[in-house]
Amino acid sequence: MENTTIYSHALAFDKIVKIVKAELPKAKIDIQDNGGLQKSLVVIIKGGFFGKFKKLTLNYRERLNPDYRLENIECGLTQNLAGMANFIAALPAKNPEIKSKFMTAVLSANSETAFIAEPGIREFATVLRKITQETNAFLFAQPNSFFRAAAGQYFVDKNFNLILDTAGNCAVQDLDVKVDAKYHDAPAENNTPAQLKRKAESEAYLTKNQIKINKNLPCVADVSDIKLRTRQEVIDRAYALLLTAVKGEGVEQENLNRAAAEKRIDSLSPREKHIFSAAELTDQERAYATWRYESLNVILWALGKTEDLKYPSEICDVSFLVGQIFKPTREDFVNSVTLKSVKEITDELDKIYRMNWACVNARIKGETPTGNLNPSVVYERHYTLNWLTGYQNAAWDEVRTDT
């Protein structure tokens, strides 16, 4: 017997039943559905004198309240998803962007199906593939005769390609995460005039810079619905990013420890704490750490230390940024900053959200991004602005850049 688990944003039981009946028309199928959150389907294929007995059990459950977020633990599935999210958050990632997108898929999963096959999954591979394809699912797998992408537990996409394993490996270039608009986006008629005006101004800016536009992208949240991080949170984040970035550049640990003490830096995220205390960084960790300068650039802009965020075609001026925050004492730095308004920050968020879509779209199609955009700079900026505006109330390490 072998098993795997299927997760989908869709409420998929009816579709699963339809697929099984179509793919296994001669099988005996027993469906148990009491109208609750849990249902099951048992498929039996009897062998002849020399044929093998085959059995497929599908144990299905769905959320009490389907959504695209995971804000409340209110049923068995949401409890399981919360544990899975914590497990994934603690894993390393050689492709942080894919990990971020995958976290979106996990938190927006609305159904779970345990796929239990006897004698093995390969006997029902066609059924499994059909289900994952038609429900845009991902799977939690472990080594067996069918799944061999990693030595331990891991996750694969609807095409059975590796999304993430416990070592942080990834074999996909992008992840197709679709969220039903009835859960996610407020109806267009509910957009305020200010939201529509902001969207139009962002699209005009993109047009001016010859950046591809997706007219179907929704408005970002209205300023009345956005709660910015507090001034203190933003200051603490600035120092955490500084410490992480200079660690990535190879500054000696003794100097880092001294700086952390002098600047009273004690708000590192779990991932940043790991990087700060590591005796030696991997290439992936070093790259992650040094890209924090781009996040620091946005944070210092939000604190009024720079007037404008430059067009995201080139990386930021690192020496200027370090001078702005490292040279003054913490007291002098704190006294010199003023957090920008929610409108200013939201205006930038709306623009970069649309730029990031253009970059993701280009990557999927194997094209060069229009407008001379630097995709990495755009991604880091989107990430940081989402954190500043409290997108889905995510902690720093769990921020997502949905497009």
| Strand-strand pairing, 54-62 and 162-165 | unpaired
Average pLDDT over residues 132-148: 92
Interatomic CA distance for residues 2 and 144, integer angstroms: 7
Q: What is the pLDDT of residue 77?
A: 93
The rounded percent of the chain whose pLDDT value lies above 90 is: 72
For residues 129-139, average pLDDT: 95
Is residue 194 within 8 A of residue 223, CB to CB? The reply is yes
Which pLDDT score is estimated for 169?
A: 92
pLDDT of residue 100: 85
- Order across the sheet with 111-118: list the strands: 28-33, 38-45, 54-62, 111-118, 2-8, 138-141, 154-156, 162-165
- CA-CA distance, 394 to 17, in Å (whole number)? 36
Answer yes or no: is pLDDT of 51 > 70.
no
pLDDT band at 285 (very low <50, low <70, confident <90, very high): very high
Q: Note the pLDDT of residue 354.
A: 95
| pLDDT at residue 66 greater than cutoff 80 | yes
Q: What is the mean pLDDT of residues 344-364?
A: 92
The type of residue at 37 is: L
The tokens for 238 are 């600035």
The per-residue pLDDT for 189 is: 62
Residues 53 and 45 sit within 8 Å (Cβ to Cβ) = yes
Band of pLDDT at residue 199, cut at 50, 70 and 90: very high
| Predicted confidence (pLDDT) per residue in 219-240, tens digit | 999 999 999 999 999 999 999 9
Which pLDDT score, from 0 to 100, does residue 265 have? 94
| Residue 50 pLDDT class (50, 70, 90 cuts) | low
CA distance 379 to 401: 7
Contact criterion met (CB below 8 Å) for 362 and 378: no
pLDDT tens column, 110-122? 999 999 999 999 9
pLDDT at site 307: 82
**270-277 and 283-290 helices cross at what angle (nearest 10)?**
120
> Helix, strand, or coil here: 55?
strand
When comparing pLDDT for 188 and 375, which is higher?
375
Give the per-residue pLDDT at 323.
Answer: 93
Residue 190 vs residue 59, higher pLDDT:
59
375/299 Cα distance (integer angstroms): 19
* Whole-number pLDDT of residue 49: 54
| C-alpha distances in Å from residue 129, one per residue of 33, 121, 126, 259, 373 | 23, 11, 5, 53, 37
Q: Would you state the pLDDT for residue 187?
A: 55
Over residues 289-294, the mean pLDDT reads 95
Model confidence at 65: pLDDT above 90: no
Q: What is the pLDDT of residue 181?
A: 64
Confidence band of 186 (pLDDT split at 50, 70, 90): low
* Sequence spans of domains, the chain: 2-165, 185-403
> Letter for the amino acid at 13?
F
Q: Give the model's confidence band at 74: pLDDT under 50 very low, under 70 low, under 90 confident, else very high.
A: confident
Answer yes or no: is pLDDT of 188 > 80: no
Average pLDDT, integer, range 356-365: 85
Q: Higher model confidence: residue 307 or residue 60?
A: 60
| Res. 177: pLDDT tops 60 | yes
Whether pLDDT at 70 is above 90 = no
Task: Write down the pLDDT at residue 361.
Answer: 83
The DSSP bridge partners found for residue 31 are 41
Give the CA count within 13 Å in the CB-facing half-sphere of 287.
9
Residue 217 has pLDDT above 90, yes or no: no
Question: Phi/psi zone of residue 262: left (φ > 0), alpha (ψ -120 to 50 degrees), beta?
Answer: alpha
Q: How far is the C-alpha of 65 from the C-alpha of 269, rounded, in Å?
A: 31
pTM for the model: 0.62
36 pLDDT more than 90: no
Q: Cα–Cα distance between 96 and 93 in angstroms, integer?
A: 5
CB neighbour class for 399 (10 Å; exposed up to 12, middle 13-18, buried from 19): buried
Confidence of residue 183 (pLDDT cuts 50, 70, 90): low
pLDDT of residue 257: 94
Residue type, 106: V
What's CA 22's distance to the chain center, in Å? Answer: 34
Compute the mean pLDDT over every residue in the chain, rounded to the nearest whole number.
Answer: 91
On whether the CB atoms of residues 381 and 312 are closer than 8 A, the answer is: yes
Average pLDDT over residues 181-201: 78
